Amino acid sequence: MFANCQAGGLDLAAPDVCLTPPVPIPIPYVNIALGPLAIPNVLHILFAAAPAHNMATIIPVTFGDEPGVVGGVASGTVMCISQHITGVSSFLLSGQPATRLTDLTLQNLTNIVGVRILPSQSTIILAGG
């Protein structure tokens, strides 16, 4: 699958169930995280002229669950971080496994498991587990 980098990409998770006012009712939302917002990236390794991503890279804000301001039913947060929970252990970037298209994510802190569905670039392919 294509390696993740700062050039783009999108993580998607659903249903991100959050408590929504006026009476806190659990309502499912679609949660998205944008790859170009990720920090910290591996600045000294470039994929398609953009800094590479590894398992230490997080996306500090997610979108889609804004109406659920009381918080996620599992995490108690809204619009919180997205981080990869799977990567390529045979390809390390700064000591951490690289991430790629279709790797799993935890989004809105720990409220929902998602996946990278849109590639950052289409040149570098990482195979293996």
Predicted confidence at residue 128, as pLDDT, reads 84
Average pLDDT over residues 43-71: 97
Give percent of the chain above pLDDT 70: 100
What is the DSSP track for 71-87?
EETTT--SS--EEES--
Q: What are the sequence ranges of the domains in the chain?
A: 10-118
Mean pLDDT of the chain: 97
What is the spatial distance between Cα 76 and Cα 48, in angstroms, rounded to a whole number? 37
Q: Average pLDDT, stretch 102-112? A: 97
Q: How far is CA 114 from CA 87, 94, 97, in A?
A: 14, 24, 18
Residue 110 has pLDDT above 90, yes or no: yes
Q: What is the pLDDT of residues 12-34, one digit of tens each?
A: 999 999 999 999 999 999 999 99
Question: Is 80 exceeded by the pLDDT of residue 107?
Answer: yes
